[in-house]
Amino acid sequence: MSTEATVELALDSPLNNRKREPAQTKPSAPGPSLTVTGPSTLKPPPAKTFEEVCPDDPEEEEKDAFELNIAVTNPEKVGDGMNAYMAYKVSTQTNLPMFKCKTYTVKRRFSDFLGLYEKLSEKHSQNGYIVPPPPEKSILGMTKVKVGKEDSSSVEFVERRRASLERYLQRVVSHPLLLQDPDVREFLEKDELPRAVSTQALSGAGFLKMINRATNAVSKMTIKMNESDIWFEEKLLEVESEDQHLRKLLSVVETLVNHRKELSSNTAMFAKSVAMLGSSEDNTALSRALSQLAEVEDKIEQLHQDQACNDFFILAELFADYIRLLTAVRGSFDHRMKTWQRWQDAQTTLQKKRENEAKLLWANKPDKLQQAKDEISEWESKVTQYERDFERVSATVRKEVLRFEKEKAMDFKNQLVRYLETLLHSHQQLIKYWEAFLPEAKAIA
Amino acid sequence: MDAGIEDNSNQDFSGYDVRVTDAAQNGDTFVYVIKSQQISSDTEYRVEREFEDVEWLHHCLLTQEGVTGLHGIIFPPLPAKPGPSLSNSEAKTKKKIESLAMVDDWQMYCRALEEYLHLVTAHPVLVKNPAVHSFLKHREPPIKTKVKKGIFNKLTQAVGELRKEHHKDIDDFFQNERDSNLTLTAFTKAAAERTKRSQINFPVALCSSTEIAIACGHFSTALHLGIGQDDDPADYAFAKMCLKLSEVLDTVKKNFEKVAENDLNTLGFNLELYSRFQDAEKEMLFRRTCKLVDVETANKNLGQAKPQKKAAMEDIKKAADTEFDEISGMAKVEIQRYHRERVRAFQKALIELSDSQLQTARECCVELKQQLAEFKQLCA
């Protein structure tokens, strides 16, 4: 499924096959690769045909593929009690010239990832870039791990977090601008990172609150903004609608996961009662058939369990990721608003300064006049700059959104194909089980 | 094809082919449509019967006169009474299943009655009961007198009777049978209960997969509405994907439904029937045990009888002995027949189970393969 394609535009880089969990049944295709062209000038995106957007053409030439593979593995508990934390191994494999070595292996903890996000967001969000958000903090989940609870829910929690951190990093490095950020390189390369301290604000609830506050503040501005480009208005509405639907889908998938788990335990109990029935049965052929049936039902129970896992790890996490990402998208719109507001405010100030100058002229106060003139030219240049900023940020937001949507489509496609494959595999197994059992049933009489 | 009233001089006891083709709620009662045809004849009969008529038939079977060793017969269990005779919690659960799974209850009732009638008409002794003949052939339902309860339902009688249940047997064959009946009944009931439990769960899982399919459908519709001509092809592809996903989830939902149905119709039905049948066997064994107690009591009384009562006691003892022997004779045959039939029916159910589940899994695979191929073709 990996497509290697080179795209002309620097800000456009398709993210191909994401690294998948070991549980996948599909034969492993060549690892995820990322094609990145070197830094180049910004160009408006050429009108893309459908074919160009989905480069599945096998004749596409394989240029020198610049590769960067990232894996997050080996979660290990470090320390004891409430000060314990999980350390994850981050392995990077690359032939990009900007890196000194071909491979790196470093240990990172969750707060390091949050710290990385904070730095990137500080630098780039205000310019309209969509900075991928990290996974959420979970006090409950981590507490269980810290106190050493080895049950299936904490194992699941750790695995969920590991996979989520991996996807986070992959999204970061697939962004051509972020990849070039020295903080990213430091994150991947440096052995020891200074402990990120101010990540409290980025706990799940805090993070969302921050965004929501910003969004609410800005949505009041939306009404006032004279939108010159209807594209932004429409896009924002789309994003909000998608967000709603994804939330609905997520909650429904979570219900499905729970039901499958219930189904699984019911099947296990049924298997037991069939086994008991078989053992109390006098007729030997029937007895054997019944214990075979009990085994089949046991295997089916396992299938249900596995499918519930897939429902969750693939489908639910996909929806959850995109709900978080859409928040980041809304954030970039907000930043655009802010730059607009700044420009408007500057214009207002300029106007005031001009009025002030006029007043001074009329009141004939030549000494203050020079100052007034200076201020006017200062604000004139500010207005020009802020206007340019606004246009630049608008262009960036637009490009980012288009890039995001392309990645989203591909991401969904990959994950949904993966999900479908697990469903298919599950049913193929079912066929095998029943095919094996049928002759046993026939052999009774 | 409707036959009028036939006279009873037609003493044809050959096997029947019985089908219960329909059932409907008629006000308060449930009415079954029963079609039957005797193997030996071409005439097909069609009658309508209420559950009361079935109960009457059952009563007639239990109280048939002039049959040697009647007590030794394992009577096919009466099917469950349809409708509000269920206990409160059962009714609530049933309601839940009905509303969520939309399983056609009436089909289950029909099948249960059909099975009962098969078992009755296949029984070499019971088929000769004229009540069977009139039940299947007469247009008018039989005249019912008030059913005298309790002659044969000794197990449900006074506590004093229950004591006899554990009375030691004189015959190893029967003692073993009584013991194994106990364990087998318990396990069969447990397994039947578990299948029912799964039936409750399946509809709930079904419900949530329906919900997902619907939510996905809404999503896809919303996306499609937003797509214009000039729009980003990625948007278009995304919308298509969500549509495909809702199709897949629909397949999953239908699969849940089918799997539950298969379980219910094959193994579920069989376990339910045989847990009742086990009870019927238990009742028969109990009747025989009670007769054994009577025999032993008669012997004891004879031994202790005063000379003037000796002759009367002797007669009582002889009657008890004869009855006991007749019952035991019939019982032995019945038991062997019962187990043969039980194993055969179980095998049939297991074959049907694996056949149907195999079929369902194959169908699902075909659909999923198709959908996967379509998905892969969708460009992202």
What is the ipTM for the molecules in this complex?
0.80
Q: Do A420 and B198 make contact, defined as CB atoms within 8 angstroms? A: no
Which tokens go with A33? 């690769």
Percentage of chain A exceeding pLDDT 70: 77
Which chain B residues touch A238 with a CB distance below 8 Å? 226
Which chain B residues touch A49 with a CB distance below 8 Å? 233
Residues contacting residue A406 through CB under 8 Å, at least 6 positions apart:
A12, A14, A53, B232, B234, B380
Cα-to-chain-centroid distance, residue A170? 9
pLDDT at B235 over 50: yes
Mean pLDDT calculated for residue range B99-110: 60
Can you give the pLDDT at residue B251?
Answer: 85
Which residue in chain A has the smallest CA separation from B371? A420
pLDDT at B297 over 70: yes
List residues bridging with B24 in a β-sheet.
B31
pLDDT interval class at A50 (50, 70, 90): very low
Which chain A residues touch B246 with a CB distance below 8 Å? none
The answer to whether B353 faces chain A, any CB pair under 8 Å, is yes
Mean pLDDT calculated for residue range A329-344: 91
pLDDT interval class at A348 (50, 70, 90): very high
Can you give the pLDDT at residue B25?
Answer: 72
C-alpha A49/C-alpha A61 separation (Å) is: 18
Can you give the pLDDT at residue B350?
Answer: 93
The answer to whether B208 faces chain A, any CB pair under 8 Å, is yes
Q: What is the mean pLDDT of chain B?
A: 79
Which tokens go with B120? 């009755």
pLDDT interval class at B84 (50, 70, 90): low
Can you give the pLDDT at residue A207?
Answer: 57
Which tokens go with B330? 């019939």
Q: Do A249 and B216 make contact, defined as CB atoms within 8 angstroms? A: yes
Give per-residue pLDDT as tens, A136-165. Answer: 887 777 777 777 666 777 788 888 899 999
Q: Do B223 and A242 make contact, defined as CB atoms within 8 angstroms? A: yes
Can you give the pLDDT at residue B167?
Answer: 82
Residue reference for tokens 């298969």 = B262
Can you give the pLDDT at residue B346?
Answer: 92
Which chain A residues touch B355 with a CB distance below 8 Å? 438
Q: Which range is least confidently modeled, A101-110, A131-140, B115-124, B197-206? A: B197-206
Q: Which range is least confidently modeled, A36-45, A346-355, B119-128, B205-214? A: A36-45
pLDDT at A357 over 60: yes
Report whether B286 contacts B315 (CB < 8 A).
Answer: no
Residues contacting residue A405 through CB under 8 Å, at least 6 positions apart:
B232, B234, B235, B238
Can you give the pLDDT at residue B304?
Answer: 85
pLDDT at A40 over 70: no
Q: Do B357 and A434 make contact, defined as CB atoms within 8 angstroms? A: yes
Residues contacting residue A313 through CB under 8 Å, at least 6 positions apart:
A21, A23, A159, A160, A163
- In sign, the C-alpha dihedral spanning A239, A240, A244, A247 is positive
Can you give the pLDDT at residue A43?
Answer: 28
Q: Note the pTM of the prediction, 2 decimals.
A: 0.76
C-alpha B53/C-alpha A161 separation (Å) is: 65
Can you give the pLDDT at residue B165?
Answer: 74
A136-164 burial, b if ≥16 CB within 10 A, otherwise e? bbbeebbebbbeeeeeeebeebbebbbbb
Give per-residue pLDDT as tens, B22-67. Answer: 877 777 777 888 888 888 888 888 888 888 888 888 988 988 888 8
Can you give the pLDDT at residue B158?
Answer: 52
Which residue in chain B has the smallest CA separation from A258? B205
Can you give the pLDDT at residue B92?
Answer: 55
Give per-residue pLDDT as tens, B168-189. Answer: 888 888 888 888 888 888 888 8
Can you give the pLDDT at residue B342?
Answer: 92
Give per-residue pLDDT as tens, A279-320. Answer: 988 888 899 999 999 999 999 999 988 888 888 888 889 999
pLDDT interval class at A169 (50, 70, 90): very high
Can you give the pLDDT at residue A60?
Answer: 37
Can you give the pLDDT at residue A59?
Answer: 37
Can you give the pLDDT at residue B169?
Answer: 84
Can you give the pLDDT at residue A65?
Answer: 56
- Give Cα separations from B365 to A160, A196, B214, B254 (angstroms): 29, 50, 22, 12
Mean pLDDT calculated for residue range A405-417: 89
Can you give the pLDDT at residue B204?
Answer: 59
Stronger pLDDT, A362 or A38, i.e. the higher one: A362
List residues bridging with B30 in a β-sheet.
B25
Q: Do B379 and A54 make contact, defined as CB atoms within 8 angstroms? A: yes
Residue reference for tokens 């706990």 = A203
Q: Do A441 and B208 make contact, defined as CB atoms within 8 angstroms? A: no
Q: Do B351 and A441 make contact, defined as CB atoms within 8 angstroms? A: yes
Q: Do A408 and B184 make contact, defined as CB atoms within 8 angstroms? A: no
Report whether B115 contacts B54 (CB < 8 A).
Answer: no
**Min distance A342 CA to chain B CA atoms (Å):** 30
Mean pLDDT calculated for residue range A37-52: 34
Can you give the pLDDT at residue A205?
Answer: 52
How does DSSP assign B27-59, residue by residue? TTEEEEEEEEEETT---EEEEEEEHHHHHHHHH
- In sign, the C-alpha dihedral spanning A149, A151, A157, A159 is positive
Q: What is the mean pLDDT of chain A?
A: 78
Cβ-nearest to B358 among A253, A289, A434:
A434
pLDDT at A411 over 60: yes
Which tokens go with A118? 């904070």
How does DSSP assign A368-404, residue by residue? HHHHHHHHHHHHHHHHHHHHHHHHHHHHHHHHHHHHH
The answer to whether B372 faces chain A, any CB pair under 8 Å, is yes
Can you give the pLDDT at residue A2?
Answer: 38
- In sign, the C-alpha dihedral spanning B266, B269, B275, B279 is negative
Percentage of chain B exceeding pLDDT 90: 18
Can you give the pLDDT at residue A75?
Answer: 87
Can you give the pLDDT at residue A293?
Answer: 93
Q: Which range is least confidently modeled, A61-75, A247-261, A384-398? A: A61-75
Mode of pairing for the β-strands spanning A103-109 and A85-94: antiparallel
The answer to whether B216 faces chain A, any CB pair under 8 Å, is yes
Can you give the pLDDT at residue A198?
Answer: 58
- Give Cα separations from B3 to B40, B53, B117 (angstroms): 16, 19, 19
pLDDT at B105 over 80: no
- Give Cα separations from A131 to A210, A256, A331, A388, A404 (angstroms): 15, 31, 9, 22, 10
Inter-axis angle of helices A230-280 and A366-442, nearest 10: 30
| Percent helix, strand and coil across chain B, each to the nearest 5 | 70, 5, 20
Q: Is residue A91 helix, strand or coil?
A: strand
Can you give the pLDDT at residue B42?
Answer: 81
The answer to whether B336 faces chain A, any CB pair under 8 Å, is no
Can you give the pLDDT at residue A36?
Answer: 34
Mean pLDDT calculated for residue range A22-37: 36
pLDDT at A213 over 50: yes
